[in-house]
Structure 1
Amino acid sequence: MCANPILKIFAGLWLCAAILPTAAAAQNTSFYDRKGEGWFWYQDPELEPEPVDENQVKQQATTPPADPKSPKAVEPPSYRRQEVEPFSVEWLQKQMPVLLGRAIDDPTKENVEAYLYAQRVAMDKAQRYANQVQMVVANDPYLDENNRVPLSSFAKKDFLRYRGEGQTEAMEHLSKIGGLWVFFDSTCAFCPPQVSAVRDLAREFGFLTKFISMNGEAVPGLGQDEFVPNGGQAQRLGLRLTPTTVFVVPPDNYYILSQGMMSQDQLRDRLIVAADYNGLLPEEILKKLRVFDRGVLSTEDMKAGAGDDPGEWVRYLKERLSGQY
């Protein structure tokens, strides 16, 4: 007798239903049953141990242990802790503000005394330094400023007289190679005194002068035949103010000395500076004018001799200064 085929199907389904949950439970538990793992439920596989190098193991086994009495490795100098020497300048710079603040915040005898003694050390060190400076300068002519510019009133008179002679020679030389133009306006309050100052300067050193009126009219003290109207010279020179004084060197050199009122002495100084800057003075006159440059290093001298060895660059500077006196 044949078994009912429907019963066979139900029996098979029941058997599968009984086996499958058991197998799934063995392989994978439900997420909610593994809630202790949190969200990071993924399990990485265990790492396999790295292979052991037998030669390295043997070498470590044969290496004797370090002797505890052996000296430790010396730390490189750049990593050593630099200790500040007590009472040095560096120490005073760091400690004095601390000591002062402590003495102000808590003015006990000990705190105030500590600051005052630190201050005493600083002042005594400064005095020792000043005494040594005086000794070094007295024995080194290149460091003695009195050899450059006399400090005493007795010697300074001759020094300034020598420079005054150079200024006079410079003005006399410039009066021979050029003249002075003065641009004025009859409505300008400062133009009459400027005309007067330039006249006095011209009479003293022999300059040729030309007075040019911007509006065609004269100023007090200047006759109708002593000025000319502006013929475009002011526009070519780009002049905007009056009075303006210009040093003219033929054929076509113009040097603006002032745009505004200046005294006779100021005009003289401006004229000499302009002449020096533009190379209008001979060397023998410049030597008298540049008395304050005596013993002064040039820009090139102060670059070429730079170095890390003080003894080397001191010798270099002395050599360069030897030709400056």
Structure 2
Amino acid sequence: MDAARIRALDNPRNPDGTPSKDMIAYMYFQRVALDKAQNFAYAAQDAVSSDPILDETSRIPIDTGAITTFKRMVEDDKKSALNSLTQKAGLWFFFDSTCQYCAYQYQSLNAFVSQYRFPVRYISMDNKPLAGMRSFLPNRGLAQQLNLKVTPAIVLVVPPNNFYIVSHGMSATSTIGDKILLAAASRNLLPKEIKDRIDPYNKGIMTPEQMKISQQEQAKLDKDPNAFVDLIKDALGGK
């Protein structure tokens, strides 16, 4: 087809102005190529729709009604996960009484804690409270031990001695929960079934270890495409 295109470029018209044979031949080549592409697209669509491992909508819905329900279910699972964390973790809130951002974060954190009953310790960097704060603790080197540089800061505390920085700077009420869940998931503080439910977008994704195996087996897989399909199905079939 490339050779036909070059001939058509060099000789697009006859002396009388009509399309040359080279041009007509190239357009027929192009017609065949477009038909091949359409046949390919239809076959690809059939392959995807008939195999749940290939069909992304089997992981994440895309139509309006389903995606609304899906998002609501994920939010419900996040709420359950946060409530379960309140049984084994607490929060430390580091602030400075002169920091206007700390005052905003204090309000957002209180709104969050009113919904999720995390125990909270309010720790002042300058040994003074924020406006409206009933109780607080002096810093006494805790911020330095955690290498905190900016206030406000929120730390997830899991007894006896596990500390995970959740946020530096201001975070909205809804964002605080997401950041806590991210820290909890990355530190394996949640059971796998709960972790999978709050992060459904990671479902059915090959892990780096599985990808390495496929690369190691590449020579064998090149000789037998079915072996590659079986490898991927084995890797993802149970996810």
Which range, TM-score by smaller chain? 0.7 to 0.9
TM-score, normalising length: structure 2: 0.81
1:146 aligns with 2:57: yes
Correspondence 1:206-285 to 2 at 5 A: 206-220=117-131, 222-223=132-133, 225-285=134-194
Identity, % of aligned pairs?
34
- Give the secondary-structure state (helix, strand or coil) at the position aligned to 1:190: helix
Q: Which residue of 2 aligns with 1:128?
A: 39
**Deviation for aligned residue 1:303:** 3.3
- Give the secondary-structure state (helix, strand or coil) at the position aligned to 2:129: coil
Q: Distance in 2 between matches of 1:95 and 1:227?
A: 81
Larger Rg: 1
Unaligned runs of 5+ in 2: none
1:304 aligns with 2:210: no
Post-superposition Cα deviations, 1:257-302, rounded to whole Å, max 9, x if no partner, equal 1111111121111111111111111233223223223332333333
Task: State the structure with bigger RCO (CA 8 A, min sep 6), 1 or 2.
Answer: 2
Rate the CA distance shift 1:122–1:185 in 2: closer, same or farther, 3 A: farther
Equivalent of 1:313, from 223, 228, 236?
Answer: 228
Equivalent of 1:288, from 197, 207, 210?
Answer: 197
**Deviation for aligned residue 1:156:** 2.2
Q: Is the Cα–Cα contact under 8 Å of residues 180 and 245 in structure 1 kept in the other structure?
A: yes
**Deviation for aligned residue 1:122:** 4.6
1:172 aligns with 2:83: yes
Aligned residues: 227
Post-superposition Cα deviations, 1:81-100, rounded to whole Å, max 9, x if no partner, equal xxxxxx3xxx4xx876x579
Q: Distance in 2 between matches of 1:252 and 1:228?
A: 18
Rate the CA distance shift 1:287–1:109 in 2: closer, same or farther, 3 A: same
**Deviation for aligned residue 1:116:** 7.8
TM-score, normalising length: structure 1: 0.61
Post-superposition Cα deviations, 1:13-32, rounded to whole Å, max 9, x if no partner, equal xxxxxxxxxxxxxxxxxxxx
RMSD: 2.9
Rate the CA distance shift 1:99–1:155 in 2: closer, same or farther, 3 A: farther
Q: Is the Cα–Cα contact under 8 Å of residues 152 and 170 in structure 2 kept in the other structure?
A: yes
Q: Is the Cα–Cα contact under 8 Å of residues 165 and 288 in structure 1 kept in the other structure?
A: no
**Deviation for aligned residue 1:113:** 4.7
Q: What amino acid does structure 2 have at the position aligned with 1:162?
A: M
